[in-house]
Amino acid sequence: MAYIGLKRTWVRWTTWEYLPMWVSNLPVAGFYLWFAMRARHPLFFSAANPAIPLGGAMGESKFDILERLPASILPKMVLAKAGMPLDAVKNALLEAGLSFPFIAKPDVGERGFLVKKITSEETLQAHLARYPVDFILQEWIDLPFEASVLFTLFPGHKSRFEITSVCVKEFLQVTGDGQRNLRALILSNPRAAFQLERLELEHPERMEVVPEADEVVRLGAIGNHCLGTKFVNGNHLINKSLCDSFESICRQIDGIHYGRFDLKCADAEALQKGNVKVMELNGVLGEPAHVYDPSVGALRAYREFWRHWRLIFEVSQANRKRGVEVATWQEGREQVRQYFAYKKQLG
């Protein structure tokens, strides 16, 4: 086990994809500071998405954002307010046509924080009781193709629209050999090994099972990088069809000019046609997720981050010229204070 621990430590500190955020984001912080100086305002990015507090940088309500999207691309969902009686939650689920299983995720959160697949009333009750905050209860979308699509829509009726990142998500899995148990298979897979402690807590009964030869064992249901999902560069899917489909969607969303859809669909063809279900729409901190493809590398990743901060700057400046106000220091400070108070409440 000591060898495995050393191996994981080596991978974490020598592979850009796994570097701690405070390390990997140091150059990105420099990009932000450069554009903040050019804009002469530290919160310049808030003007990019005037419909979202701070443009979607921190502490925004995901439910409020989703309600702005066209109904045709939304899954069924309800907002379970903190302290809401279980009977009231069940009634809301019934009215929305939601049944088990479904996804519960905090209305304020990021990177898979407290996202859980809910399979029973008992699981729902325990989850809501343990974390006394607002939760989005969202339809479980049983579609095989999960992706992220990052767009920029410049202000104006016939303005420029771009899709600048497509990331396809490959769920964490291992393949059996008929000899080793699941724990050993996980330890032999560098990506899965980072998730061992979490998987042992969530599924202790599976660890000693020996999968059959060539049996594929899926280890997660949530497409998040910090939960082991592999992010694959899907920018080859960007073409006129994809841009036309998503431009039609984005022009129906008032006040959001830069964002990243996290979505599911049947396949790449359905994605091209915009036949998708959107689970989340992130604002200015919606990263170009394709850069976490192991084949991209640090230098290309930082070029992409620079490019996207430049787009945020350009959209923000264009909106300011049209009369959009940048968030004040007081508004920014209050948003940050509320966010950290929320995180502290959850421990």
Q: State pLDDT tens for residues 229-274.
A: 889 999 999 999 999 999 999 999 999 999 999 999 999 999 999 9
Residues contacting residue 110 through CB under 8 Å, at least 6 positions apart? 285
The more confidently predicted of residues 70 and 223 is 70
Q: Is residue 273 part of a domain?
A: yes
Rg (CA), the chain: 21
Q: What number is the average pLDDT over the span 26-40?
A: 96
Q: How far apart are CA 275 and CA 267, in angstroms?
A: 9
The three-class DSSP label of residue 168 is strand
Contact 310, 284 (CB under 8 A): no
- Do 225 and 215 fall within a single domain? no
**Hey, what amino acid is at 111?**
R
Contact 260, 290 (CB under 8 A): no
Task: Look up the pTM and report it.
Answer: 0.88
Q: Is residue 324 part of a domain?
A: no
Q: Is residue 155 part of a domain?
A: yes
The pLDDT confidence band at residue 339, using thresholds 50, 70 and 90, is confident
- Do 49 and 190 fall within a single domain? no
Q: Is residue 325 part of a domain?
A: no
Q: How far apart are CA 182 and CA 180, in angstroms?
A: 7
The three-class DSSP label of residue 221 is coil
pLDDT digit string, tens, across residues 136-173: 999 999 999 999 999 999 998 778 999 999 999 988 88
Q: Is residue 177 part of a domain?
A: yes
pLDDT at 307 over 80: yes
Q: What number is the average pLDDT over the span 214-224?
A: 77
Q: How far apart are CA 96 and CA 119, in angstroms?
A: 17
pLDDT at 343: 81
pLDDT at 159: 84
- Do 127 and 234 fall within a single domain? no
**Percent of residues, the chain, with pLDDT higher than 90:** 63
Count other Cβ atoms within 10 Å, centred on residue 99. Answer: 11
Number of structural domains the chain divides into: 3
Of the three residues 188, 219, 250, the one that is the final residue of a domain is 219
The pLDDT confidence band at residue 8, using thresholds 50, 70 and 90, is low
Residues contacting residue 205 through CB under 8 Å, at least 6 positions apart? none
- Per-state percent for the chain, helix, strand, coil, to nearest 5: 45, 15, 35
- The CATH number covering residue 114 comes to 3.30.1490.20
Can you list the positions of beta strands (E) in the chain?
Answer: 77-80, 102-106, 116-118, 135-139, 145-153, 161-170, 173-175, 216-218, 230-233, 258-265, 277-282
Domain span holding position 244: 1-75+143-171+220-318+331-347
pLDDT digit string, tens, across residues 114-134: 888 899 999 999 999 988 889
Helices (H) and strands (E) in the chain, counts: 13, 11
- Do 251 and 309 fall within a single domain? yes
- Do 112 and 135 fall within a single domain? yes
